[in-house]
Amino acid sequence: MRVVVVLAHPNRSSLNHAIADRAITSLHQNGHDVIFHDLYAENFDPILPANEMMSGDFVDPQIRNYGDEIANADGIVVVHPIWWGGMPAILKGWIDRVFRPGCVYAFEEVEGGIGVPVGMLKARKIAIFNTENTPLEMSEEMYGDPLDSIWKKNVFGVCGGRDVFRRVFHGVIMSEDLERKAWLAEVEDHINEFFPAAGMSQAA
Amino acid sequence: MRVVVVLAHPNRSSLNHAIADRAITSLHQNGHDVIFHDLYAENFDPILPANEMMSGDFVDPQIRNYGDEIANADGIVVVHPIWWGGMPAILKGWIDRVFRPGCVYAFEEVEGGIGVPVGMLKARKIAIFNTENTPLEMSEEMYGDPLDSIWKKNVFGVCGGRDVFRRVFHGVIMSEDLERKAWLAEVEDHINEFFPAAGMSQAA
C-alpha cells in the first residue's frame, strides 16, 4: 500500500511529531510505502486565493501534486492537535486548496440542477490521530466533538473515504512520560490493525 | 459601541463582501464605530508559529493589536463562507493567533491542577453570517452543522461572548439576484436588532 501521512504541528518535539514518527515506522515495518508531509516543515501556504477558488482545475503545480498524491493513495493518516475545536489553519488550508472537485470528488447532477458530491478518493482506509489539552470529561461536557463530524462527514464522507478511524488523546499538556509511551504504543497497534503487512492481511 | 467586523473571502465581488458592506453601513447608520478587517486584503498570515504557541504573551506586535481590538470591542461581527464544514484557513488562523490566553480568556485553576477557561471578552454581542453553496435540506441531511457548535462553544463560549447570533445563507451558488437582495436586507435587520442606535436601545 502507498500511504500518505500528513502532520500539522509547529513544535518538532511535540507529541504530534512522535505520533507521526511512530505511525511511519509502523507503516514501513509492514512493508508499505509512505509519503510524508510535515506541513509546517514544508512551509505550506494555506490561503486559497480567488483565482484557484474560481478555477475548475488546479492552478499551482505544487498543489496539483498534493492532490494527485492524495487521490491515488491507498491509505491516509492525519495527525494534528485540536485548536478551538478544529484543525490548525495550515491543515485547514491544505484541505481548502488540495481537496478540489475533479480530484478528490466530483459533482453529479441530480434533479433540479443540484450537484451531489461523489467521492473520488482511491483510499478507503483513513486514520486520524488528534491531541487535545483539555481532559476528556471536561471536553465532552463543555464542547462535545464537532471535529469528528467534520472529518467523517464534511471531508472524507464527501470524498469517499468510507472507513475512517479516529483517536483523540486528551489531557496532553498534563500527561507524563509513561502515559505518552502508552499512547505511542497504541498508535502502533492501530496502524498494525488498520494497515497490516500484506501477508498478515491475506492470512486474516 | 465599537464593533469589530472580520471578513474572510478571497473574491471581492462575493456575497460575503456584500454582507460585510451592508453590516458596516448599518452599524455606521446606528452611530457605532467600526473597525473592519478584510483578512484577505490585509494578507493576514494564519500560521501560528512554534515560538508564539509556546509563549505566554504575544510575540508579534501586529497580532497583539488584533488581540487588543477584539478584547476591547463592544460587539463583534464575523462574515465567512463555510468550506468543508468549517472556516477558511485564513480565519481559522486569525483565531489560532489572536485568541490567546491572557487576552480573550484566562485559565482559572481548579482542583487537581486543571485549568478552566474564563472568558475575558468585553463584547457580549456577537453576530456571525455564513454562506454555503449546499442547499439547506441537503446540508442538514448530509452534514448537520458542526460549525455552530464550534463558534458558540469552542470559540465564543470559552471567551465569554454570551449572546451569539448566527445566520447561514444556503444554496448561494444557485441563488438569484432577488434572493441575494432579500438576504442583504435581512443582514441589515439583524444588525439593527442586535446593534441598535443608542437612542433606540435606551427606548427599548
DSSP letter for A39, please: T
pLDDT in tens, B5-23: 999 999 999 999 999 999 9
pLDDT in tens, B33-63: 999 999 999 999 999 999 999 998 999 999 9
Check pLDDT > 70 for residue A202: no
d(CA A126, CA A104): 14
Structure confidence at residue B201 (pLDDT): 52
The letter for the amino acid at A132 is: E
pLDDT in tens, A157-166: 999 988 999 9
**Minimum distance, in Å, between the CA of residue B66 and any CA atom of chain A:** 17
CB A2 within 8 A of CB A73: yes
Hey, what's the cell of A71? 487521490
d(CA A72, CA B76): 43
Q: Give the residue from A39, A70, A91, A96 with the most B CB atoms within 10 Å of its CB, the best one to mutate.
A: A96
Residues in chain B: 204
Structure confidence at residue A199 (pLDDT): 72
Q: Find residue B83's DSSP bridge partners.
A: B86
Closest Cα partner for A100 from A137, A135, A59?
A59
Check pLDDT > 60 for residue B203: no
pLDDT in tens, B85-134: 999 999 999 999 999 999 999 999 877 777 889 999 999 899 999 999 99
Q: What is the predicted ipTM? A: 0.95
pLDDT in tens, A84-108: 999 999 999 999 999 999 999 999 9
Mean pLDDT of A181-190: 98
d(CA B32, CA B130): 22
d(CA A27, CA A175): 26
Residue of chain B whose alpha carbon sits nearest to that of A13: B50
d(CA A39, CA B117): 29
pTM equals 0.96
Residue of chain A whose alpha carbon sits nearest to that of B45: A47
CATH superfamily of A2-203: Flavodoxin domain (3.40.50.360)
The letter for the amino acid at B66 is: Y
> What integer best gives the mean pLDDT of chain B?
94
Closest Cα partner for A50 from B98, B17, B63?
B17
